[in-house]
Structure 1
């Protein structure tokens, strides 16, 4: 868009004393004539641009013109570029790199510093995740319905939704939308979403109630469980919940209490610690762990 290009040119001129029209044309992938028209438009907006011909010539902002050059500081550009790079891990990398180049003409000054922070928002399914995000972004921008197969603890089900937002929370990507099958708003985890496609039918965007946008409510953890962990697992608890999440008992073991949303998930999480974790409350959960342990033994009886 032209307005984006004009802002990009102004940003470059704020950071560089002088730049040539061919450099701007290459950076923004337009003709020199287009750049010269853009410069005229910037001048009409009240920003005096000086264009000098010759080998040492170029385009610059008049020295006598007072313009706040702190529109974007180096630190602010670092944050923006770091964010853009993280999005590049799940988006069209070429487009992201082009945008970074527009924002950072002095690449060695800004980007090299930003490289000290590397954020990867993808997962083991990086290629398919990028494809899903691209598809959903298109559907959201065009108000198109999306259909997909969804896998949960209840099994496989086909869903058709009006997609509204993509969100990265709880270390995973989700799409938020209105489910036509459940007649309600839902969050769907992208790694559980397959055989996806855009339906040609468009929808009229709904006015979403504010309470529906509090995504934390979709994962209420009113259920509580208390577990005794072996001291050797202290690093695991700190990794997931922080150093204040447990109480050190007299024998050195760790008493840990947490709220949970999905019963099957919390049971499988506990079983993953083997004999180094023991549920003490609630007692019915402890009994379920016992039954599952017995069934595990039965599964292996014929192999012993």
Structure 2
């Protein structure tokens, strides 16, 4: 959602002589601090911003600056279309379709040519009327309308009921998350949608808070390396498995680490890591799918 907002802000600035941070915040339904961070990001990206102090001041871009669509190469247009079409695959919002029409004219009419780029993004569920899609739709409305939600959440510590203030939806690797302010914990938390057992969007609304930046990389994430990369501090892990379970196993362990035995009926998963506790949790999660051989 932030990428869509940045593109929208850039288009507003290019089409108007000047505006105010307050007007941008109201237009994009975020806080003024969020708009200030967005403007800083655009400035660092090379957009020539200027500020106008005093009464009637505001922010704008240098005279003559325009978002020239003809500067987009075929590859650029395909990449931009892939990102926006990926957003549309989840949302289906007409505003995204209109944004595509403005930034990549003719893309939908000539979708085959535009979508022939090296990447295609579709973030929707494989299942019609899937549970994940239903949760996404409800939470997206809650984010936009600033409505509280009541969730029943399954965490490592157990199942609990929470009242949250939804701030944004986040897609990381292969899962959706809700970034929201948890009233029970009095802090922002990241909730995995698959772990939400029950969800109710409430009629109660909330005032937007200053949402902290997301740290999507764990500070102490375990290393996971090919077995031949003998990095200091890592150790070799070998897990035996039956070939019949290989398809289920690759849902958790990348196929790059799976090696078949000589008889083709069994195999071994081999990789290096630096986190013994993580290996123990992994073995517990896999259950009968794999059995630890080493260490």
In the superposition, the TM-score normalised over structure 1's length comes to: 0.53
Partner of 1:217: 218
Kindly state the Cα deviation for residue 100 of structure 1 after the two structures are TM-superposed: 2.7
SS of the residue corresponding to residue 202 of structure 2 reads: strand
Q: Which runs of 5 or more structure 1 residues have no equivalent in the other structure?
A: 12-44, 48-65, 283-304
Partner of 2:120: 118
Partner of 1:165: 168
SS of the residue corresponding to residue 201 of structure 2 reads: strand
Partner of 1:156: 159
**Contact 2:148 / 2:202 at 8 angstroms: preserved in 1?**
yes
SS of the residue corresponding to residue 89 of structure 1 reads: helix
The structure with more radius of gyration: 1
Question: Quick check: 1:278 aligned with 2:291?
Answer: yes
SS of the residue corresponding to residue 142 of structure 2 reads: helix
Q: Distance in 1 between matches of 2:259 and 2:122?
A: 34
Number of paired residues?
219
Alpha-carbon RMSD: 4.6
In the superposition, the TM-score normalised over structure 2's length comes to: 0.55
**Contact 1:148 / 1:159 at 8 angstroms: preserved in 2?**
yes
Partner of 1:26: none
**Contact 2:147 / 2:205 at 8 angstroms: preserved in 1?**
yes
* Higher alpha-carbon deviation: 179-188 or 68-77: 68-77
**Contact 1:225 / 1:281 at 8 angstroms: preserved in 2?**
yes
**Contact 1:82 / 1:115 at 8 angstroms: preserved in 2?**
yes
Q: Distance in 1 between matches of 2:103 and 2:93?
A: 15
- 1:45-56 equivalences under 5 Å are none
Kindly state the Cα deviation for residue 197 of structure 1 after the two structures are TM-superposed: 0.6
- 1:10-159 equivalences under 5 Å are 70-92=70-92, 94-107=94-107, 111-116=111-116, 117-124=119-126, 127=129, 128-152=131-155, 154-159=157-162
Does 1 or 2 have the higher relative contact order (CA < 8 Å, sep 6+)? 2
Kindly state the Cα deviation for residue 78 of structure 1 after the two structures are TM-superposed: 0.9
* Higher alpha-carbon deviation: 97-106 or 155-164: 97-106
